[in-house]
Amino acid sequence: MKGVISLKVPENFNLLVTLRGQKGETAGEEIVGLEETEMALSRYEGELRVIESDFPNVMMFDLNMDPLEAVNIIKNSPTTVISKVVPVEAVVRTRLDSILEKVIALVSEKVEAGETFRVICDLRGRRYIRSAGELVEAVSEALMERFPITESDEPDWIIQIEVVGDSTGVSVLRPHQVIKKE
């Protein structure tokens, strides 16, 4: 059919795990990372539903359990290659307007007047969003225009944006709800 534009539906995932390793290279980290995640969550989650990613060292999961609980379990589990674990509240198409709309909706539900925030963006794939910095700036400006809240380096809330190609995971979290493992 001529003139028909196909829009890819975003993948549905509620947990994103990044692994240590060389950017653009995999040396078995993904297998070990998957095993570590399975071991940590095996008592709480049946078979893990892994969402395929075109990006090395990025794993996405569609869990039945609360992703915030999964973050805490992984945080307290021994791991060797897991670098970061992010609970994802919503997944949208990777378009600035879709991302802004979802962030604004989540912030309006959670953040109180006078509270502070920080936008953090990890960008994988530059097809729709040119730079993480531009996205962070656009989201920050939109939030400060609409809500009586301010940016801070020590925020009450983290606006976490995980761009993974065509799909973007968005969350509004307390700083302790995203973990980075050393």
Tell me what percent of the residues of the chain surpass a pLDDT of 90: 74
Query: Would you say 117 and 143 are in contact if contact means Cβ atoms under 8 Å apart?
Result: yes
Fold match, 15-87 / 90-180: no
The average pLDDT across 72-78 equals 94
Q: Which of the listed CATH numbers 2.60.40, 3.40.1710, 3.30.70, 1.10.3470 matches domain 15-87?
A: 3.30.70
What is the CATH number assigned to the segment(s) 90-180?
3.30.2130.30
pLDDT tens-place string over residues 95-131: 999 999 999 999 999 999 999 999 999 999 878 888 9
Tell me what percent of the residues of the chain surpass a pLDDT of 70: 90
Q: Where are the domains of the chain?
A: 15-87, 90-180
